[in-house]
Amino acid sequence: MTDAVTWNFSDRHIGPDAQGMRRILDVVGVDTLDELAAKALPAGILDKRDGDVADGLEVLDAPLSEHEVLAGLKELASRNTVATSMIGQGYYDTLTPPVLLRNIIENPAWYTAYTPYQPEISQGRLEALLNFQTMVADLTGMEVANSSMLDEATAAAEAMTLLRRANRKSKSPRFVVDSDLFIQTAAVLATRAEPLGIELVTANLVDDGLPEGDFFGVILQVPGASGRVFDVAPVIDAAHERGALVAVGADLLALTLMTPPGEKGADACFGTTQRFGVPMGFGGPHAGYLAVNGAHTRNLPGRLVGVSVDADGAPAYRLALQTREQHIRREKATSNICTAQVLLAVLAAMYASYHGAEGLTGIARRVAAHASGLAGSLRSGGVEIVHAELFDTVLARVPGRAAVVVAAAIERSVNLYLVDADHVSISCDEATTHTHVVSVLAAFGIAAEESAGDEPVSIPEELARSSEFLQHEAFTKYRTETAMMRYLRRLSDKDLALDRTMIPLGSCTMKLNAAAEMEAITWPEFAGLHPFAPADQTGGIRELVSDLERWLAAVTGYDAITLQPNAGSQGEYAGLLAIRHYHLSRGDDHRDTCLIPSSAHGTNAASAVMAGMRVEVVACRPNGDVDLDDLRAKIADHAERLAAIMITYPSTHGVYEHEIEDICGAVHDAGGQVYIDGANLNALVGLARPGKFGGDVSHLNLHKTFCIPHGGGGPGVGPIGVRSHLTPFLPGHPAAPELGGVGPVSAAPYGSASILPITWAYIKLMGARGLRQASLTAIASANYIARRLDEYFPVLYTGANGMVAHECILDLRQLTKDTGVTVDDVAKRLADYGFHAPTMSFPVAGTLMVEPTESEDLSEIDEFIAAMIAIRGEIDRVGAGEWTVDDNPLRGAPHTAECLVGEWTHPYSREIAVYPLGKGRAKVWPSVRRIDGAHGDRNLVCSCPPLEAYSS
Ligand SMILES: Cc1ncc(COP(=O)(O)O)c(C=O)c1O
C-alpha cells in the first residue's frame, strides 16, 4: 500500500519535487532554500519572516485548491450583471466563433507562446499576424499595417508622434484634434502630448474646418464618437494643402461599407479590432491597429511581420525592420511599445478569415440596418436624431431627459451611453437583435408597434466602398469549421510554445499558466462587461481589482497600485509620469534627467524620453553591477536636474546587486526619485520588496511573475506600485472619476481587466508560502543551470558567493572568436534538439540568457543542459576543424524534414542533423530552415504575398 498524498496547487505549479530539489541544492552547494536566499540576496533587503510567511504577505489568505478558487471566482462573477451593451464608444459586443474561442483563446499552443524572436519556430503565429496586417491594410486602404497596438487610444497617440516625426517640413508643435474623438482617445492624446511639448488644438473639423495657424498634423475619427459618418477627404485635402499630415481613426467593420481613409489620402489610420470577435472584457485586452502609407513604414512603431526566405529559398516569415524597435534604439526610440496584443490580433485575424469579406459585410449591413431602423423609429416617435448619416451609432437629442432614458433602458437590461443631460447615444453591434431595439424604443417611451423595423443603411451613396478587400486565400479558404480547426492546428504545430518544451528565455519568465488560472477569463460575467458599464453592474470585477491592488501592494511593499497600464512599457511610462508630476507639483520643473544603467531594457530609455526626460547612461562595472563611482559622478554632474534613476532589480544581468540600497540612497540624497523596474520580480516575491528597499515606484509584469500567459507577444498587464507621495499622480480616466489622478495612459480605466482573474487565481492558489517557494525554486534552478553549464559556457556575471538570481548569462563570445560559431547558431541548433532558445544577445551581445523559472521539473532542466553540453561538443568539433565553420550542424540549423529527403552533401549525417541525441525526446520538426532577415528587409513585404510566391 502506498501512502495517500494530498497535492497542493503549489506542488503542481512548482516543477522540482523533493528529490529533485535535493539534487539541485547539492549541486548549488547549499543545504536549504533559505540558505540559498541568504547567500544570494543582500542581507539588508531580505524580508524577515514568520515561518514561511514573509513580512507583508500576512495579508494573503491561506492557499486554496483549484476548485475552491474557481468557486471564489464564480462568486465574484455572480456579482457582475451582464446587461446588453449599447454603450459603444469603441467597445462593442461581438460573437466570438466557438471554433476560435476553443482553438485559440483556450488553447495553450497559442496562448503560451512567446514573441516570435526565433522565427524558425514561430511560423504559425507569424503567419496569423501577417493575416492581421493584411486585414488591417486591406480594410483601411493603407499600404502597411503593424501587427497590433496596445489599444485604440494609444494607437492614436502613436499616430500623433509618428506624424510629427514624419512631417519634416513643419516646425509647428501644434496638433489639431477633432472634437468628435472618443473621450478616452482624446484623453490619452493629451497625456502623451504634454511632456513632449505638443500643443493640442481641439476643433470641430467637419462643421468649422481647420483652425488658423500652423500645425504639423490633424487627427479625426470616422464614424465620429457621436456616430456621425462623413467624408474625410475635404479635411485631409485641406490639411495637406497646409503642410500637415493626417491620421484617421476608423472602425474596421464600418470600412466594409465605406470608402477607406487610405483611398482618401490619409497618412495614417488607427483603431481597434475589438469587435472582430474579441469580447469587451471590461476594457481589454484587444488589439489596436496602426497603418500607414508606404512612405512612413520605417516610422511605424511596434512589431512588423515581413516575408523573407529561408536557407533553402522557401518563403518564411520573421519580424521585419527590427532596428526600428525600442530595444535596439533605446533613448533614440520613438515609441516604447514592446509587448503588444498578439493573441487578440490572432483572434481578430481569424475572425476575418472565418467570415471573409462577404461575411463581414453581412455583419456590417445588419448592424447598420438595426441602427438606421432605430433612428427611423425614434424619429417617428418624435425624438430628434442628431446625425442623419450614420453607421452603428444613433445620437438622440432628448432635452433634459437623457438620464431618465438611460435609467429606463437599464430597467430593461440595456446600457446606453449618457453623453450629457440632453443626449443619449445608442450603438448597435453584431449581437443586437430586434428585441434590443424594441427595448431601447420603450426606454424612450416609444411603443414597439411604432418601430419602423430595419431600414436601409444610412451611409450616403458617395461614401460607399467600391474597392475589394480580403481576397487573399487566407480570407477565403477557411469557411467551414473543419477547415478553420485544421488551419489553426496546422499553424500552431509550427510553433514551439510552453505546451511542448521549456522556454528558457531570460528576462521573460515563461512559467506555467495553469488551466485553473485561465478558466474565468472567458466567462461572460467578466468577458461581457463594457468598461463604462454602471458601477453597480460591475461589483465583482471591481472587488477583484481591489483585491489585486491590495495583494500586489503587499508583495511589493508599496502604498498604492494602479492596474491601468496594459504592458510593462506602459507601466514604466505611467511611473515616470508620476515622477514628473511629483517634481512639477513641487516647483522642481528643472528636474528632467533620468539616469539609466547601460544594461537596462530598451523600453526604459524609450519611456523616459516619452515622459519628457533626458537620458543619461550610467556605466556598469566589469562584473556587471552599476558602477557606483560613475553613478556618483553623474549625480554630481546633473544634481540640479536629476529627476530619477531607473534600475532593474535583480538586474538585467541576472544578479542581486549588493549595493542597491546605496544606489537608491545616493539618488534620494540628490533629490531624485527611484524607479525600480520590476520585470524580474519573479526573483523577489516573498523575499524582498522594492517599495521597502528604496523604490518610489515600480512596474510589475503580470505576464511574467503573475502567470498571465505571453500569448505570442501579448496581452500583458504592467501595473505600477508607488509610495504614498506619488499616489496623487497615478493615471486617472475621464470615464472613471473614482480613479482621480492625472491623465490616462491606456484606453480603458482598468486596462486589460478581463485577464486579471488569472493573477487573482494564482495568488489565491499559491498563498504566501507558495509564492515564496516559487521565487526560491526559480533562483535555485537558475543557479543549478549556472553551475552545471559554467564549464561549457562560462557564466558571465555572478553576485555575492558566486550566486546568480533567477537567470544566468552564458558567455559565448570567446567561443565565437575561437571557432566562428555564433549565438545565432546555438539558438537555431537548439530547435533541432527540440528546445526553444534562451534570450539571445540581451543584455550583452554574443551571450545567451537562460531563465528556467520554478515551473520546470528537474528532468526537463537536465534535458536542456544535456542539449547545451552536446552543442558545446559540436562547437568543439568545428573548433577542431572536423567541420568547417560554414558547413556544420550548427550553421545548418534548424533542419527541416524536407531538407533530409533531397541530396545530402554535408559533412555531418542526417541523424546528427535531426536526432543529435538519438530518439529520446519527442521530435518537433521546425517548419523552415534558417531565415534570411536581411533579404526580407531589403525586399519588404508586410502583407500576405500572392499565392504564386509559395509555388516557387
Ligand atoms: C527588464 C524589463 N523591463 C521592461 C520590460 C517591458 O515590458 P513589456 O514587454 O510588457 O512592455 C521588459 C520586457 O521584456 C523587461 O524585460
- The CA 643 to ligand 1 mean position distance, Å, reads 21
pLDDT digits (tens, 9 = 90+) for 194-207: 999 999 999 999 99
* 771 and 855 housed in the same domain: yes
- The CA 622 to ligand 1 mean position distance, Å, reads 24
Q: Which 3 state secondary structure label does DSSP give 198?
A: coil
Pocket test residue of 117, 572, 596, 601 for ligand 1, highest count of atoms within 8 A of CB: 601
Q: Is residue 858 part of a domain?
A: yes
- The CA 603 to ligand 1 mean position distance, Å, reads 7
Instruction: Report residue 537: phi and psi, to 5°.
Output: -100, -5
User: Which amino acid, residue 337?
Assistant: I
* 710 and 780 housed in the same domain: no
What is residue 91's DSSP assignment? B
Ligand 1 atom index nearest CA of 339: 9
Torsion region of 486: left, alpha or beta (phi above 0 gives left; psi -120 to 50 gives alpha): alpha
Q: How far apart are CA 810 and CA 792, in angstroms?
A: 9
Q: How far apart are CA 102 and CA 737, in angstroms?
A: 37
Q: How confident is the model at residue 951 (pLDDT cuts 50, 70, 90)?
A: low
* Contact in structure between 835 and 504 (CB atoms under 8 Å): yes
* 612 and 714 housed in the same domain: yes
Nearest to 514, CA basis, from 865, 854, 779: 854
pLDDT of amino acid 947: 67
Q: How far apart are CA 370 and CA 428, in angstroms?
A: 7
pLDDT digits (tens, 9 = 90+) for 632-673: 999 999 989 999 999 999 999 999 999 999 999 999 999 999
pLDDT digits (tens, 9 = 90+) for 903-937: 999 999 999 999 999 988 999 999 999 999 999 99
Q: Is residue 329 part of a domain?
A: no
pTM comes to 0.98
Q: How far apart are CA 848 and CA 827, in angstroms?
A: 8
Pocket test residue of 339, 570, 572, 598 for ligand 1, highest count of atoms within 8 A of CB: 339
* Percent of the chain surpassing pLDDT 90: 95
Ligand 1 atom index nearest CA of 567: 10
Q: Which amino acid residue places its CA nearest to atom 10 of ligand 1?
A: 568
- The CA 304 to ligand 1 mean position distance, Å, reads 18
For residues 767-785, give the mean pLDDT.
Answer: 98
Q: Which amino acid residue places its CA nearest to atom 8 of ligand 1?
A: 568
Residue 952 pLDDT > 50: no
Q: Which three cell numbers stand for residue 420?
A: 450629457
Q: Is residue 854 part of a domain?
A: yes
pLDDT digits (tens, 9 = 90+) for 104-149: 999 999 999 999 999 999 999 999 999 999 999 999 999 999 999 9
- The CA 264 to ligand 1 mean position distance, Å, reads 38
Strands lying side by side in the sheet with 720-722? 560-562, 720-722, 697-700, 673-678, 642-648, 593-597, 614-618
Of 675, 705, 726, which residue is a domain's last? 726
For residues 339-353, give the mean pLDDT.
Answer: 98
Q: Which three cell numbers stand for residue 485?
A: 480547426
* 717 and 616 housed in the same domain: yes
Residue 738 pLDDT > 80: yes
Q: Quickly tell me which residue has 512599457 as its cell.
A: 569
Q: Which amino acid residue places its CA nearest to atom 5 of ligand 1?
A: 568
* 794 and 721 housed in the same domain: no
- The CA 510 to ligand 1 mean position distance, Å, reads 13
* 779 and 719 housed in the same domain: no
Residues contacting ligand 1 via CB (< 6 Å): 338-339, 507, 567-569, 601, 603, 648, 652, 677, 679, 701, 716, 718
* 704 and 853 housed in the same domain: no
Q: Is residue 78 part of a domain?
A: no
Ligand 1 atom index nearest CA of 569: 11
Please tell me the total count of domains within the chain. 2
Pocket test residue of 149, 330, 569 for ligand 1, highest count of atoms within 8 A of CB: 569
* Contact in structure between 533 and 541 (CB atoms under 8 Å): no
* 659 and 777 housed in the same domain: no
* 696 and 598 housed in the same domain: yes
Residue 539 pLDDT > 60: yes
pLDDT of amino acid 46: 97
pLDDT digits (tens, 9 = 90+) for 351-403: 999 999 999 999 999 999 999 999 999 999 999 999 999 999 999 999 999 99
Residue 166 pLDDT > 60: yes
> Which range of residues forms the domain containing residue 793?
765-924
Pocket test residue of 510, 603, 649, 844 for ligand 1, highest count of atoms within 8 A of CB: 603
Pairing relationship of beta strands 839-840 and 245-250 according to DSSP bridges: unpaired
pLDDT digits (tens, 9 = 90+) for 688-698: 999 999 999 99
pLDDT of amino acid 331: 83
* Contact in structure between 163 and 188 (CB atoms under 8 Å): no
* Contact in structure between 726 and 676 (CB atoms under 8 Å): no
Q: Which three cell numbers stand for residue 515?
A: 488551466
Pocket test residue of 701, 809, 839, 853 for ligand 1, highest count of atoms within 8 A of CB: 701
* Contact in structure between 250 and 260 (CB atoms under 8 Å): yes
- What CATH number is attached to the domain comprising 774? 3.90.1150.10
Interacting residues of 650 by C-beta distance below 8 A, sequence separation 6+: 656, 657, 680, 683, 684, 805, 806
* 771 and 920 housed in the same domain: yes
pLDDT digits (tens, 9 = 90+) for 468-493: 999 999 999 999 999 999 999 999 99
Q: Which 3 state secondary structure label does DSSP give 13?
A: helix
Q: How far apart are CA 340 and CA 129, in angstroms?
A: 12
Residue 3 pLDDT > 70: no
Residue 528 pLDDT > 50: yes
Query: CA 476, 279, 225: angle at the middle one, nearest 5?
Result: 95
Q: Is residue 74 part of a domain?
A: no
* 721 and 772 housed in the same domain: no
Residue 416 pLDDT > 60: yes
- The CA 20 to ligand 1 mean position distance, Å, reads 31
pLDDT of amino acid 376: 95
Q: What is the distance in angstroms between the CA of the first residue and the CA of the last residue of the chain? A: 64
Q: Is residue 604 part of a domain?
A: yes
- What CATH number is attached to the domain comprising 616? 3.40.640.10
* 562 and 693 housed in the same domain: yes
Segment 25-34 long-range contacts (CB within 8 Å, at least 24 positions apart): 25/780, 27/784, 27/787, 27/788, 28/780, 28/783, 28/784, 28/787, 29/787, 33/773, 33/776, 33/777, 33/780, 34/776
Average pLDDT of every residue of the chain: 96
Q: Which amino acid residue places its CA nearest to atom 9 of ligand 1?
A: 339
Q: Which amino acid residue places its CA nearest to atom 7 of ligand 1?
A: 568
Sign of the CA dihedral with 704 first, then 708, 709, and 712 last: negative
In sequence order, what are the beta bridge partners of 235? Answer: none
Ligand 1 atom index nearest CA of 570: 11
Q: Is residue 226 part of a domain?
A: no
Ligand 1 atom index nearest CA of 571: 11
CB atoms within 10 A of CB 632: 15
Which of 438-452, 524-538, 556-570 shows the lowest mean pLDDT across its residues? 438-452
Q: Is residue 488 part of a domain?
A: no
For residues 433-446, give the mean pLDDT.
Answer: 97
Q: Where would I find the beta strands (DSSP E) of 260-360?
A: 268-272, 288-292, 305-310, 315-319
Q: Which three cell numbers stand for residue 48?
A: 524577515
